[in-house]
Amino acid sequence: MPLIHFPDEITDFIQQGAIFYISHSGGKDSQAMYVELKKVIPSKQIVVVHADLGEVEWEGVQEHIRANTQHQMNVVQASKTFLGMVEKRGKWPSAAYRQCTSDLKRGPIFKFIRNDLKERRATIAINCMGLRAQESSARAKKEPFSYNKQESVNKRVTRHVYNWLPIFNFTTDEVFQTIREAGEKPFWAYERNERLSCVFCIMGCVNDLRHGAEQRPDLYKKYVELEKKIGHTMFTKGKEPIYLEEHIGIKVTA
């Protein structure tokens, strides 16, 4: 089995009472990360957090997390919705400008971490994420363990926040193997999907988008209509915009 990335500092942080916040999307990487962290982090120092994206996430994902975790699932939600955010800005997010991740996931998760840490009177938070180097060249350049200066304070109140990517070096096969060996199954949509994210992710492949359109025709219609309304497309073909219906080859029926 692959070994998780385990920096030397983690042992000290455990002894100092650090809280390990596991960001759980319901996807395979979060699931495998939780399996692995349970083996090395004391249970009382683990907190599971899920950023709820509302109607744009796969139905049943929260039930899947609950069924495969022994910790309480803390659900956080931004005050705005994904589609509302797109409509207001008149543009879809992009790989370079991932407003969806920052505003709908990262923002609410860090807000939760700040409050929860304070309530526990703890001072060290480890923000654990299931990102992997194999996913993209941009991700491969990330540091698997780093100090999060922006979220840390060292004044009247002390808060040290670290970002940790424990399964950074896992391959996709190793992720599925980890889940299998724990006696669990990945979320059902993986039977057809390559990745599990929003049903229609701005970086999704045609295969996953098509599957989403088949499973969630009502939601698909909303995306297609919103593209037309704002006149900005989620995807481009070369440098030219391409509307979703053409991109994935599924027309919305009235």
Q: Which is nearer to ligand SF4, 104 or 179 (CB)?
A: 104
Per rule CB under 6 A, count of chain residues that contact ligand SF4:
10
Q: Which is nearer to ligand SF4, 124 or 199 (CB)?
A: 199
Shortest gap between Cβ of 22 and ligand SF4 (angstroms)? 17
Shortest gap between Cβ of 55 and ligand SF4 (angstroms)? 12
Q: Does 100 bind ligand SF4 (CB under 6 A)?
A: yes
Q: Which is nearer to ligand SF4, 105 or 159 (CB)?
A: 105
- Packing angle of the helix pair 28-40, 172-181 (nearest 10 deg): 60
| Phi/psi at 128 (5° precision) | -95, 125
Q: Does 202 bind ligand SF4 (CB under 6 A)?
A: yes
Shortest gap between Cβ of 133 and ligand SF4 (angstroms)? 18
Shortest gap between Cβ of 197 and ligand SF4 (angstroms)? 3
Q: Does 203 bind ligand SF4 (CB under 6 A)?
A: yes
Q: Does 26 bind ligand SF4 (CB under 6 A)?
A: no
Q: Which is nearer to ligand SF4, 98 or 222 (CB)?
A: 98
Q: Does 108 bind ligand SF4 (CB under 6 A)?
A: no
Stretch that binds ligand SF4, among 35-43, 112-120, 180-188, 198-206 (CB under 6 A): 198-206
Single out the residue of 26, 27, 93, 186 in contact with ligand SF4 (rule: CB under 6 A): 93
Chain positions contacting ligand SF4, by CB under 6 A: 93, 98, 100-101, 104, 197-198, 201-203
